[in-house]
């Protein structure tokens, strides 16, 4: 296989893994102030993702690093055009990480409530902005003939891209509700189920509207496979909602995760062989061949990736196995 194509697929896989794993992290953080009725319950909610959240973020760092090394022109154009949005994501992630560490440093209710809401904000902003960014990739942004972004931050905001952000926000929040239904005890699973049923209804509506608008705003459905993947994501989401209503939390979590994976596959499949679409002139769109590094760089990266990535996957899988038990408020030490 052409190494340029291979690394495009690997970047897509890394983003898919990131959205699947970090999606429930974001969702748990968003739901924290609403589902946790006491400090003990909020601690249980936070502890449910405590062993995982920083490992899940590694997928984002790896995806960004792979993009930088394999497709430096893509990285440069994307980060220059989306600079403010990515800066806001960075600030939100810093707030989120600090909230995890600082919340338990003081027992005062006002202190802990403050960091709970910082965790909420630090989870909500990335969940929203990643959807806006992905929608812009397929809709197109103003890129000139020199592969430079020629617009402003407000060029990234449109009804379609904001709907993309809302859809990702709802998908991740639903994934968080399903995770809490699986990982917590006492009354929290029932509250998570009720929240998930309400959120799921809005998620189905948002995703359906996004798919319909995509036919007018993008060209990703000009090929059959991305279209099948996109509509498959909607079917998986509907089945996840049905299983949640039947209290089959494990199946619902897997199917909602499948909806996220299929949506990501549709996005990158619709882009290929482009990496960014130019709204000024289709001929100025960036392709994997224009944006890629040298063949030697890609060869070295391939050797390193296929040597180290399996080790990382095994370690992360072991972490999920070790911390597989439910977290209950009454079992926490005070």
Taking only the tens place, the pLDDT of each residue in 21-59 is 888 899 999 999 999 888 888 888 998 888 888 888 888
Q: Which two tokens stand for residue 223?
A: 């090929």
CA angle 12, 19, 96 (to 5 degrees): 130
Contact 279, 161 (CB under 8 A): no
Q: How many CB atoms lie within 10 A of CB 15?
A: 22
User: What H or E segment, with its residue span, contains residue 103?
Assistant: none
CB-count exposure of residue 69 (10 Å: 0-12, 13-18, 19+) = middle
Q: How many CB atoms lie within 10 A of CB 101?
A: 9
Q: Give me the pLDDT at residue 327, please.
A: 74
Q: Give me the pLDDT at residue 240, please.
A: 95
Report how far Cα 21 is from the mean position of its chain's Cα atoms.
7
Q: Give me the pLDDT at residue 2, please.
A: 87
Q: Give me the pLDDT at residue 1, please.
A: 60
Q: Give me the pLDDT at residue 332, please.
A: 63
Q: Give me the pLDDT at residue 84, please.
A: 87
Per-residue confidence in pLDDT tens, the chain, 334 aa:
689 999 999 999 999 999 998 888 999 999 999 998 888 888 889 988 888 888 888 888 888 888 998 999 898 888 888 888 889 999 999 999 899 888 888 888 899 999 999 999 999 999 999 999 999 989 988 888 888 888 787 888 899 999 999 999 999 999 999 999 988 887 888 999 999 999 999 999 999 999 999 988 888 877 889 999 999 999 999 999 999 999 899 999 999 999 999 999 999 999 998 998 888 888 888 899 988 888 899 999 899 888 888 888 898 888 888 887 777 665 665 4
For residues 71 and 66, give the distance between their C-alpha atoms in angstroms, rounded to a whole number. 8
For residues 121 and 151, give the distance between their C-alpha atoms in angstroms, rounded to a whole number. 27
Report how far Cα 182 is from the mean position of its chain's Cα atoms.
20
CA angle 173, 169, 162 (to 5 degrees): 165
């Amino acid at each position: 296989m052409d190494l340029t194509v291979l690394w495009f697929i690997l970047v897509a896989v890394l983003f898919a893994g990131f959205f699947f794993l970090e999606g429930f992290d974001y969702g748990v953080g968003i739901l924290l102030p609403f589902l946790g009725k006491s400090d003990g319950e909020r601690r249980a909610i936070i502890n449910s993702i405590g062993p995982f959240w920083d490992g899940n973020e590694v997928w984002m760092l790896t995806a960004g690093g792979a993009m930088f090394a394999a497709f430096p022109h893509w990285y440069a154009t994307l980060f220059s055009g989306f600079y403010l949005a990515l800066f806001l994501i960075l600030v939100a992630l810093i707030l989120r990480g600090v909230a995890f560490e600082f919340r338990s440093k003081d027992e005062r209710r006002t202190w802990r409530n403050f960091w709970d809401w910082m965790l909420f904000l630090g989870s909500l902003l990335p969940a929203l902005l990643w959807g806006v960014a992905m929608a812009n990739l397929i809709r197109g942004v103003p890129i000139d003939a020199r592969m430079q972004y020629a617009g402003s931050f407000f060029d990234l905001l449109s009804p379609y891209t904001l709907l993309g952000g809302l859809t990702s926000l709802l998908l991740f929040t639903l994934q968080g509700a399903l995770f809490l239904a699986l990982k917590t005890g006492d009354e929290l699973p029932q509250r998570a189920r009720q929240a998930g049923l309400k959120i799921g209804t809005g998620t189905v509506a948002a995703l359906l509207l996004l798919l319909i608008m995509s036919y007018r705003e993008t060209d990703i459905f000009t090929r059959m496979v991305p279209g099948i993947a996109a509509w498959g994501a909607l079917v998986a989401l509907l089945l996840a909602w049905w299983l949640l209503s039947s209290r089959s939390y494990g199946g619902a979590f897997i199917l909602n995760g499948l909806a996220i994976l299929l949506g990501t596959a549709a996005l990158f499949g619709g882009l290929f062989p482009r990496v960014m679409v130019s709204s000024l002139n289709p001929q100025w769109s960036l392709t994997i061949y224009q944006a890629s590094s040298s063949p030697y760089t890609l060869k070295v990266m391939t050797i390193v990736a296929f040597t180290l990535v399996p080790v990382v996957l095994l370690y992360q899988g072991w972490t999920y196995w070790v911390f597989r038990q439910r977290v209950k408020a009454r079992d926490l030490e005070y």
